[in-house]
Amino acid sequence: MRIPPYSWPVGKACAVAVQVLFDDGLDAVFKAPDLVNRSKSFSVWEYGAKRGVERLADTLQEMQVPATWFVPGVVAEKHESLLRNVAGRGHELAARGWAFERYDSLPAQQALERLKRSVAALADLTGTEPRGFRLPAGNWPAGFDGLLLRAGFEWSATLSGDDRPYFHRSGLVEIPVHLELEDRPYFQFNFNPPFPKGLSRLPSYDSVLRNWKAEFDAYRKYGLCFVLQIRPEMIGTPGRIFILRELLAYVRSFDDVWIARSSEIADWHRSHAQAVEDGHPIEVYRSYRRENGLHD
């Protein structure tokens, strides 16, 4: 089956979104709760707030690239001035839950309360409620897209079932993300004890840059939505930040690329795109749930 081309703004071949995940170590503690008692290891994640955020914000400003920063509510309260500075540079803040909870293990009402609490924390910072959300941990619960709409969200960047935006049945827009365009699989590493287990070597920076350029070239060729996900504690070191600078310089060398905040991409999709086509991964997932007697 031929996939119909996706239509971007006039003269643009593809879209590029930069998304920053600023969890301030909550993601690591979620996987290894005792990490907070291992100061040497945990300092890797503390680096993000101490140095990485500012270096990353400076680089994005230098390259004239607006980004979307996903922030848990407790992190927004902890780093209020730091994030006000980020928002003041033209970036948008999006939600990442309240305290990195698993929404697939929470009752719906409790999940909704956590979502609204995260909205309030970010709105207190910027005066504007966040429009986007990324699931912090766990699986996508049944009916979660409807819950996000009830909390005031308009789009999500959580699932990986496509490489261009699509609608959930509820009308929530999904901006798909992919692991090969994240920095963490390349750079998250702790020697002793090994964390995460199984990652024993850091890659060469040139190879990471080559990978991301190759992905971008393909996304541009096929008219897709290239979503780069980066973390201040990972990409924000002195040596690694050059990868981001070089990649963005390469992206900006093409005048047919639309670099946009994630909310702008969601707005474009909502006003121009068609409904989800038959056979789309989200529909396959729904069919599986129905066939197995699960709620949609």
Q: Which of 152-161, 198-207, 238-247 has the lowest mean pLDDT?
A: 198-207
Q: What is the CATH number of the domain that holds 230?
A: 3.20.20.370
Note the pLDDT tens digit of each residue in 57-67: 999 999 999 99
Interval 278-292 mean pLDDT: 55
| Residue 29 clears pLDDT 80, i.e. is over it | no
Residue 192 lies in a domain: yes
Residue 6 lies in a domain: no
Q: Which of 2-6, 117-121, 135-139, 220-224 has the lowest mean pLDDT?
A: 2-6
Residue 149's domain comprises 14-291
Note the pLDDT tens digit of each residue in 244-258: 999 999 999 999 999
| Residue 76 clears pLDDT 80, i.e. is over it | yes
Averaged pLDDT score across all residues of the chain: 90
Residue 5 lies in a domain: no
| Residue 110 clears pLDDT 80, i.e. is over it | yes
Beta bridge partners of 123: none
Here the tokens at position 137 are 């941990």
Residue 200: what pLDDT?
Answer: 55
Predicted confidence band of residue 289 (pLDDT cuts 50, 70, 90):
low
Residue 2 lies in a domain: no
Residue 77 lies in a domain: yes
Residue 277: what pLDDT?
Answer: 59
Residue 3 lies in a domain: no
Residue 188: what pLDDT?
Answer: 79
Interval 262-288 mean pLDDT: 73
Residue 7 lies in a domain: no
Number of domains making up the chain: 1
Residue 104 lies in a domain: yes
Residue 5: asked if its preceding bond is cis (omega within 30°), the reply is no
Residue 274: what pLDDT?
Answer: 64
Residues ≥6 apart with Cβ < 8 Å to 275: 167
Closest CA relative to residue 208, chosen from 233, 191, 228, 238: 228
| Residue 288 clears pLDDT 70, i.e. is over it | no
Residue 6: what pLDDT?
Answer: 94
Predicted confidence band of residue 202 (pLDDT cuts 50, 70, 90):
confident
